[in-house]
Structure 1
Amino acid sequence: MNFSYFATVQRGLEPVAAQELERLGAKEVRPDFTGVHFVGDRALLYRVNLWARTIFRVLVPVREFYCPNSDTLYQEIQKIAWDEYLQPNNTLAVTCTGGNQKLNHTHFTALQVKNAIVDQQRRKFGQRSSVEVQNPDISINVHIYQDHCTVSLDSSGTSLHRRGYRQAMGAAPLKETLAAALLEIVEWNSNLPLLDPLCGSGTLPIEAALKALNIAPGLFRQKFSLQNFPDFDSQLWQQLLKEAQNSRLSKLPAPIWGSDRDPHVLAQAHSNAQRCGIEHQIKFAQTELSHLEAPADRGILICNPPYGERLGDVKELGAFYKMLGDVFKQRFKGWTAFVLTGNKELAKKIGLKASRRIPVYNGALACTLLKYELY
C-alpha cells in the first residue's frame, strides 16, 4: 500500500533531494519550497530515513483542512482519531511552521494543537500524553500556509542531518546534509580522487567516504520516531537494517584527503571518522595552505573557506583567498576546484575565472559555489 510523504530540505536543495528520492525508489516526486512531496510504501519510508543524505526529515501527512483561525484549528484537530497514532503513555511534541493572518505565532499554534490532542485523550481515556520537547515518542508537525493546514507525523525525530557521528565539530561546520548535497551538485564520481584542503572537523571528506563506501548514514543513529508508530513493522525494519549493513564496501574506489592547518580540528576530524569506522579510509594531514601540493594528477578539490560571517576578519581573509587562487593555479593543473563562499568581494580575490556560479544556501546565508577548471 502506498502513502504520501513530504521530505523537508534546505532551501535551494529541493532538486537535489528530489533526484535522491527517485534513486531510492520514490514515486510521484514533486519538489516544493523547502521540501519534496513523494509517494511510496512503508518500506520506502524506512529506506529513505536510513539512506537519504540530503534531507532533514520525512513527514507523514495525517490530515489537511481549511484553517483560517485558532478556533477552527482546535475543532479540526479534535476530529482526528489520535488514538490511532499515540496513546496516553506516549510522550508528545508539537512543532509548527508557517502561519497566516490569524495564526501568526508558531508557539501559540503548536500549543493550540497540543491542547486539542490532550483534551481528546482526557475525554476518552481519563489521562493524557506528557509533553517531551527534546526526545518525544511521537512528534507532530503542523504547517500553516495561508488558510490551509497540514498535520503530519514526523517519522525521523531529530533532523537527519544529525547523523550521530559528529560529536566533535569546528567553529562553523557545514551541515552534513549540505556537504552531501554539494557532492551531488559538483557531480563527484567516487572513482575520482577528492581533496578538501580546509577540512575542519572533516564533514566533507567523511560524507564523501560514506557515499563512496555505500554506507547508509542512518546506521549511526540510535533512534527514529517511526519506531514508535503503532504500525511499526519491526521485521521489515530489521531486514532493511541488515541489507544496509551488508551493502557497505570495504575499500574506497579512489583516495579521499582532508587537510587543515589546525591540529585541534584535525583531531576532531579523526574522531568523527573513527565513529563511522572509516578512520583508515580517509587521509587527514596537517598542512598549511601555502605548503599544499596536489596529491594526484587529477581530481576534485572542494572547500568551504571562512567568509567573514562567523570566522576570520574580511580584510585578513582577502590575502587568504588570493593565496587559495595562487595555489590552485600553480599546483593543481588537471583538477577541478569548487569553492563555497558567502562573500562576493572575497571570491574576487581568488583571481581565477569561474566556469560556473551555482547559488547555494548555507543555513539562511545566500552563498555561491564557484567552479574552476584548472588547466
Structure 2
Amino acid sequence: MVAYFVTCARGLEPLLAGELVALGGADVELGRGGVWTRGDTALLYRASLWLRTAVRILRPVFGGPVRSTDELYDAVRSIDWFEFMSPDHTLAVDCNVRDSAITHSQYASRRVKDAICDQFRDRVGRRPSVDTERPMVGLNLHVYRNHATLSLDASWDSLHKRGYRPVQTRAPLNEALAAGLLLHAGWDPATPLVDPLCGSGTFCIEGSWLALDRPPGLLRKWFGFQGWPDFDRGLWAAVREDARLGVRPHLSAPIVGSDGRADAIEFARGNAHAAGVGNLLRFDRLDVRDARPPDGPPGVLACNPPYGERIGEEAELVGLYRTLGDVFGTHWRGWRVFVFSGNDNLAGEVGLPVRGSTPFFNGKIPCRLWEFET
C-alpha cells in the first residue's frame, strides 16, 4: 500500500477523515490542513472520484530537512525518477515555501525541475519537457520550517473544481467547503434544504449531489494520476462506471435556493444545469425577507451571507443580519438554521439563541458555522 496525504481546508480534517474511512482508507490520521492514509490504486481512484471535502491527493516521494536550494537539488537528484516517469513525460512543479531559509518558491520549483531533468539527461541523453497547464506528472513541493516534502500530485487541479461552475460570482463559497459544511450540519437528504442567499447555488448543488449519491468528481475530465506511467485505464473505467450506476435519479425532498439578485439566480440555474441537476432544483429571485419554507416537514436552512471583508462594510451589513434573525425566528420555526460567516460581530446581530458554532476557514479567512435556534 502507498501513503497519501489528502489536503483540505482547515477545519474539515475530521470530515475528510470520515470520508476516507468510508472509502476503505487504512491508517487514517488527522494532520494540519489534511489527512494521512494508506491504500492501493483502487483507493486512489475512488478517493479522487468521491471525496467531497478534499482539495488534493498527494503521494509523498521525499521528506527531509533542506536549508538551501543546493541541498534541495541534491535531495531530489538522489531519487530514482525512472520509477515515476520517462523522458517522454511532461512535468510541472507547484511550490509553497513558508518560514524557511529557502524563500523563493519559483526558484525552488526550478531547482526541483533541474534535478529531475539533469538525472534523465545524464542517464539517457534526453529529459522530460515542462507543461504547466496539464503535466503528465505534476509535483507538489511544500517547504515549511526548513523541512521539504515533495509529492506526486494525483489531482493537479484542485478537487473543489467540480466542473459545473465556470463563472465565479463575488465571494463564492468553495464547493468542497460547502459540501463539508452540509456534512458537518448533519443534514438528512430525506428532508428539505434551503439557501435563501444562494448566490451561485453552491449549497444547493452540493446538497443535491449528496442526496443523489453522485460523486463530485464525475464531471471532471482530468486527474493528475491519469498521466502517470502506471495509470490503469481499465480499473479507472470500472470505478467510474460503478459510481455512475449508483446515482439516484430523484431527490427525496425539495432543495430550494433564492436570491435577490437576478445575476445570481442566472448563475445558479446555469451551474445547476451544468451539474446535471437543473431539473431537480428550484431557484427563485426573492428578497430574503420574503423567503418561506417549502411545503412539508422542516429541514435545514444554510446560508453564507457577506461578512464585510473591507473596511466600512461591516456597518452596512448589520441590517442584513438583523433581518435574517427576524425572518428565521418568525417564519422558519422548527428548522435547523445555519449561518456561515467570517464576522462574529455580525453573526451576533442575528439575535437568535445560539445552539453552537464551529470554526472553519474560507480560503485564508477564519469563519464559523453558526447554528441558531428558531
Give 1:310 deviation, angstroms: 5.9
- Cα deviation for residue 147 of structure 1 reads 4.2
Residues 90-105 of structure 1: pairs in structure 2 closer than 5 A: 90-99=89-98, 101-105=100-104
1:135-150 matches, within 5 Å, as 135-150=134-149
Within 2, Cα distance between the matches of 1:166 and 1:99?
Answer: 31
> What secondary structure sits across from 2:369 in the alignment?
strand
Pair 1:149–1:316, CA change in 2 (3 A): closer
**Structure 1 residue matching 2:52: 3-state secondary structure:** coil
Alpha-carbon distance change, 312 to 87 in structure 1, aligned in 2, over 3 angstroms: farther
Partner of 1:330: 330
Shift in CA distance, 327/57, structure 1 to aligned 2, threshold 3 Å: same
Distance 2:155 2:84 in 1: 15
Quick check: 266-275 or 139-148, which moved more? 139-148
Give the superposition deviation at 1:207: 0.3
C-alpha separation between the residues in 2 aligned to 1:67 and 1:317?
47
| CA RMSD in angstroms, aligned pairs only | 1.6
Letter in 1 for 2:60: P
User: Following superposition of structure 1 onto structure 2, how do residues 178-217 of structure 1 map, counting pairs within 5 Å?
Assistant: 178-217=177-216
Q: Find the counterpart in structure 1 of residue 244 from structure 2.
A: 245
C-alpha distance in 2 between matches for 1:328 and 1:363 = 28
Q: Are the structure 2 counterparts of residues 65 and 73 from structure 1 closer, same or farther at C-alpha, using a change threshold of 3 Å?
A: same
Query: Post-superposition shift, 1:214?
Result: 0.6
Offset of residue 65 of structure 1: 3.2
Aligned to 2:164: 165
Q: CA deviation at 1:88?
A: 2.2
2:58 matched residue in structure 1: 59
**TM-score, normalised to structure 1's length?**
0.96
Shift of 1:340: 0.7
Question: Would you say the 8 A contact 1:195–1:256 is kept in 2?
Answer: yes
Q: Is the 8 A contact 1:168 1:271 kept in 2?
A: no
Once residues 62 and 305 of structure 2 are traced to their aligned partners in structure 1, the CA distance between those partners, rounded to angstroms, is 44
Letter matched to residue 144 of structure 2: Y
> What residue is the counterpart of 1:83 in the other structure?
82
Displacement of 1:50 in angstroms is 0.5
Contact 2:85 2:228 in 1 (8 A): yes
In structure 1, what residue type is equivalent to 2:162? R
Moved more, 136-145 or 149-158: 136-145
Give 1:226-265 correspondences, 5 Å limit. Answer: 226-265=225-264
Q: Cα deviations across residues 143-165 of structure 1 (Å, max 9, x unaligned)?
A: 22334332210011100001111
CA shift, 1:267, in A, is 1.0
Give the aligned partner of residue 359 of structure 2: 359
Kept in 2, the 8 Å contact 1:11–1:361? The answer is yes
Change in Cα spacing, 1:311 to 1:166, as seen in structure 2 (3 Å) is: farther
Q: CA deviation at 1:29?
A: 0.5
The Cα of 1:226 is off from its aligned counterpart by: 0.6
Task: Give the conservation status (yes or no) of the 8 Å contact 1:306–1:312.
Answer: no
Tell whether the 8 Å contact from 1:99 to 1:105 is kept in structure 2 after alignment: no
SS at match of 2:53: coil
Q: Read off the aligned partner of 1:201 and give its amino acid letter.
A: S
- 1:101 and 1:41 map into 2 onto residues whose CA distance is 33
Q: Secondary structure at the match of 2:54?
A: coil
Which piece of structure 1 moves more, 306-315 or 56-65? Answer: 306-315
TM-score, with length taken from structure 2: 0.96
Partner SS, residue 263 of structure 2: helix
- Within 1, Cα distance between the matches of 2:48 and 2:310? 31
| Aligned-partner Cα distance in 2 for 1:161–1:254 | 25
Aligned to 1:33: 32
Deviates more, 1:103-112 or 1:168-177: 103-112
Higher mean C-alpha deviation, range 203-212 or range 261-270: 261-270
1:42 alignment partner in structure 2: 41
In 1, the alpha carbon distance for the partners of 2:312 and 2:187 equals 29
* Long gaps (5+) in structure 2: none
- Deviation per CA, 1:27-46, whole angstroms, max 9, x where unpaired? 10011111110011110000
28-37 or 339-348, which deviates more:
339-348
Structure-1 separation of matches of 2:294 and 2:211: 19
Is this contact kept in 2: 1:77–1:116, CA < 8 A? Answer: yes
4+ aligned runs moved over 4 Å, structure 1: none
- Write the letter of the residue equivalent to 2:301: L
Go from structure 1 to structure 2 and tell me whether the alpha carbon gap of 1:138 and 1:245 turns closer, same or farther (over 3 Å shift).
same
Residue 285 (structure 1) aligns with: 284
Assess, with a 3 A threshold, how the Cα gap between structure 1 residues 328 and 370 changes in structure 2: closer, same or farther.
same
Cα separation, 2, equivalents of 1:243 and 1:85: 28
Per-residue CA distance 1:275-315 (angstroms, 9 max, x = gap): 12111111111111121112244110000001111699322
Q: Which residue of 2 aligns with 1:345?
A: 345
The alpha-carbon distance between structure 1 residues 214 and 101, as it changes in their structure 2 partners (threshold 3 A), is: closer
Q: Deviations over 1:122-152 (max 9, x none)?
A: 1123222222222212111122233433221
Is 1:321 aligned to residue 321 of structure 2?
A: yes
The alignment of Structure 1 onto Structure 2 pairs a total of residues equal to 373
2:373 paired residue number: 373
Question: Where does the alignment leave 5 or more consecutive residues of structure 1 unmatched?
Answer: none
Contact 1:93 1:140 (8 Å CA) reproduced: yes
| 1:300 is the counterpart of 2:312 | no
CA-CA distance at 1:91 after TM superposition: 1.7
Shift of the alpha carbon at 1:48?
0.2
Alpha-carbon distance, 1:97 to partner? 2.6
| Equivalent in the alignment of 2:108 | 109
Identity %: 42
Contact 1:155 1:225 in 2 (8 A): yes
1: CA distance, partners of 2:230 / 2:338? 45
Q: Which amino acid aligns with 1:97?
A: N
